[in-house]
Amino acid sequence: MVVQIVKLVLGQTETDSLAVNKSGETALDTAEKTGNSEVKDILLEYGVRSAKALKTQPVTATARELKQTVSDIKHEVHYQLEHTRQTRRGVQGIAKRINKMHAEGLNNAINSTTVVAVLIATVAFAAIFTVPGQFADDPKDIPPGSGMTIGEANIAPQAAFLIFFVFDSIALFISLAVVVVQTSVVIIESKAKKQMMAIINKLMWLACVLISVAFLALSFVVVGKDQKWLAIGVTIIGTTIMATTLGTMCYWVIRHRIEASNLRSIRKSSMGSRSRSFSVSVMSDSELLNNDRKILYAI
């Protein structure tokens, strides 16, 4: 009868099998104390444990859970550190490739600028001595009372020739100055090399404009007054092409300067607090990736 009652009570969901009386004993302890083996077996079958087991189990379980949690945290931290290390190596590799690309681009720009400067200087030098001015090489060819001398071009007094002569000469000396700098100065640091190239490129823009103006001025002399419309047409075409080209290049220069200024301001604001060092590193990585996506920019 007692066995059936115990089974019926333990079969109820409301029954607390881990309940402890005032003496600190569970039902299993009471069954052992009274020597009722049948009830003890039933209690063990339904998962009832002794008070001693209840005291030691939570401590053991808690220690095991704490150990497992610490192990999980350790593995997670190790994984995060390894992932960060791999990411940093990848970003450093990207930075090296970008720096290599910049160095190659600057070297190509230097070589191209030197070649163009030599070409402009050659053309400007030769143009002064090959103008269609009908030079008087023989004193007998000089009209009496004209005031001309041997080697003087017949078009020398004209305003178009004076414009050609002045602008062509300035373009010649600017190109020669660029050639001297490019062949004499050796810069290792990338930032200083970029600054020098920015100045030299602007000088080459000026030399191209001057040589273009010299050509357009001389075209008015070559075609004569009857075919002046040809010179006007060439002037309109040449001015449109040069203005479009230089305007586009100025746009890229200004845009690049604005982007660089914005990046500097973001870097200064991010470095204002030492506690945000991680955000600074992330910002630096994003800068590298953004630079890697840039197609072109004007120096």
Report the pLDDT value the prediction gives residue 41, as an integer from 0 to 100.
72
Structure tokens at 230: 């040809």
Structure tokens at 238: 């040449």
Mean pLDDT computed over every residue of the chain = 75
- The mean pLDDT of 184-205, rounded to a whole number, is 81
Q: Where are the domains of the chain?
A: 2-49, 70-293
- Of residues 294 and 180, more confidence is placed in 180
- For 135-144, how does the pLDDT look when each residue is reduced to its tens digit (9 = 90+)? 555 666 566 6
Terminal C-alpha separation, the chain: 101
- For 264-288, how does the pLDDT look when each residue is reduced to its tens digit (9 = 90+)? 788 777 766 544 444 444 444 444 4
Q: What is the dihedral of CA 98, 102, 108, 112, to 10 degrees?
A: 140
Of 7-21, 141-155, 217-231, where does the model show the most confidence? Answer: 217-231
Structure tokens at 132: 């269609």
Contact 249, 298 (CB under 8 A): yes
- For 209-241, how does the pLDDT look when each residue is reduced to its tens digit (9 = 90+)? 999 998 888 888 877 777 888 888 888 998 899
Residue 296 has pLDDT above 80, yes or no: no
Residue 293 has pLDDT above 50, yes or no: no
Residue 173: pLDDT band with limits 50, 70, 90:
very high
Q: How far apart are CA 27 and CA 286, in angstroms?
A: 67
